[in-house]
Amino acid sequence: MTPNPLVARIATGTAPLQTLATLALEQHRVIPADRRAFLHLAQRETATPETAAFFEFLAEGESMAGEQLIAFAEACGVDETRVRTYEPLPGCQAYPAYVAWLALNAEPTDVVAALTSNFAEWGGYCATIAGALREHYGFTDEACGFFDFFAEPAPELDEKAAAAVRAGQVNDELVRRYSRMLQHYEASFWNTLGATP
């Protein structure tokens, strides 16, 4: 897993609650944006049902994660008014903006391969955060549900991704490019959060 200074601070309980609140607020924008991008990719992919099924499954997962996010936000002191009036940080929203770019411009099967190459790292971050929220911040299981959701192994998702890649054609050069860009924007998300007061 790539070193992540903010996740390391959360792991030791030294990240301020305000930073966690900002994380919740940014995710309130990321989740619905990614969900729409995945649905668009599913609708684009009419020739390969396996690929469409993968993105439909991802979109459903985003819906479930969005429901779990509410309890985390509330534990951070974030209410509906703050969610509605919050001005998102460009460095945090670059990731979903790039996912939207991929949804419009990339071949869906290449997007499957690029996204899945980064899932393990995101899941590792979420597992670390979930444990730290319980140990250092006194959050309940319900408040940690968002991170638990992404930290859990997802064998069905892995199977759907493998089926999609088998059914389509993958451009390895483009997948490496897309993966590198996603990793960069993921790092931007965490670095931006870590720099907020």
Give the long-range contacts of residues 39-45, CB within 8 A, separation 24 or more.
40/103, 40/104, 41/102, 41/103, 41/108, 41/111, 44/103, 44/108, 45/108, 45/109
Closest-CA residue to 156 (of 197, 101, 119, 118): 119
Can you tell me the distance from the alpha carbon of 109 to that of 164, in angstroms, rounded to the nearest whole number?
7
Which pLDDT belongs to residue 47?
Answer: 75
CA 47 to chain centre: 27
Residues of the chain where predicted confidence (pLDDT) is lower than 70: 1-2
Model confidence, pTM: 0.94
Give CA–CA dist 197/194, Å, rounded: 8
CA distances (Å), origin 68, targets 4, 61, 62, 108, 147: 23, 11, 10, 27, 9
CB 131 within 8 A of CB 195: no
Residue 26 pLDDT: 98
Q: How far apart are CA 63 and CA 160, in angstroms?
A: 18
State whether residue 76 is helix, strand or coil. Answer: coil
Give dist(CA 61, CA 39) in Å, integer: 11
Give the architecture-level CATH label for domain 16-195.
Up-down Bundle (1.20)
**pLDDT score at 46:** 74
Residue 3 is predicted with a pLDDT of 79
Q: What is the pLDDT of residue 1?
A: 56
pLDDT of 99 reads 98
pLDDT value at residue 2: 67
Please give the pLDDT value at position 118.
Answer: 86
Quickly tell me which residue has 């319980």 as its tokens. Answer: 134
Could you tell me if 92 and 26 are in contact, meaning their C-beta atoms sit under 8 angstroms apart?
Answer: yes
